[in-house]
Structure 1
């Protein structure tokens, strides 16, 4: 799992703010939109990686070996996917009933 932590850490993205400031000045502020999109995208990517890193560290500090940690993380992901599917199903049923009963 140490290799996995290393790989996840090296995949983090950084925004080159100096470049974006220069581009914003040169384009009269038009580049500000591209800068904002880049920052949000990089932030979302890094938060996803941080979540994975925190999961690994959490299970490793509980004393799980690499195999058990991997299995637990996979199980957590499956449970999350099932929960999301149920939420979407409930929302669709509520929307259907709303329009059907009108």
Structure 2
């Protein structure tokens, strides 16, 4: 599991704010749009990685072995997918009933 933590940590993205600031000057601020998109994309990517890292660390601090931690994370993912599928199904049924009974 240490390899997984190292891999996740090495996948984090950094935004070069100095570079983007320098690119804003010759483009008269138009580069701010690109800067905002890149920064928000990197932040979103890093939050997903942090969530995975925190999940691994949570189970490791509970004393689970690497294989037990992997099984628990896989179980959590399946549970999350089932709940998400049920929510989507309920929303579709409600929308269908709304338009059908209207």
**CA distance in structure 1 between the aligned counterparts of 2:90 and 2:25, rounded to whole angstroms:** 48
Which residue matches 1:20? 20
- Which consecutive residues of structure 2, in runs of 5 or more, have no partner in the other structure? none
Report the alpha carbon displacement of residue 26 of structure 1 after superposing the two structures with TM.
Answer: 1.2
**What TM-score do you get using the length of structure 1 for normalisation?**
0.98
**CA distance in structure 2 between the aligned counterparts of 1:22 and 1:2, rounded to whole angstroms:** 38
**CA distance in structure 2 between the aligned counterparts of 1:13 and 1:23, rounded to whole angstroms:** 19
What is the count of residue pairs matched by the alignment?
A: 102
Report the alpha carbon displacement of residue 25 of structure 1 after superposing the two structures with TM.
Answer: 1.3
**CA distance in structure 2 between the aligned counterparts of 1:101 and 1:76, rounded to whole angstroms:** 37
Q: Does the residue aligned with 1:26 lie in a helix, a strand or coil? A: coil
- Which consecutive residues of structure 1, in runs of 5 or more, have no partner in the other structure? none
Report the alpha carbon displacement of residue 65 of structure 1 after superposing the two structures with TM.
Answer: 0.2
Which residue matches 1:60? 60
Moved over 3 A (4+): none
**CA distance in structure 2 between the aligned counterparts of 1:101 and 1:25, rounded to whole angstroms:** 57
Which residue matches 2:8? 8
Which residue matches 1:33? 33
Which residue matches 1:42? 42
**CA distance in structure 2 between the aligned counterparts of 1:24 and 1:76, rounded to whole angstroms:** 43
What RMSD, in angstroms, separates the aligned Cα atoms of the two structures? 0.6
Report the alpha carbon displacement of residue 12 of structure 1 after superposing the two structures with TM.
Answer: 0.3
**CA distance in structure 2 between the aligned counterparts of 1:92 and 1:55, rounded to whole angstroms:** 31
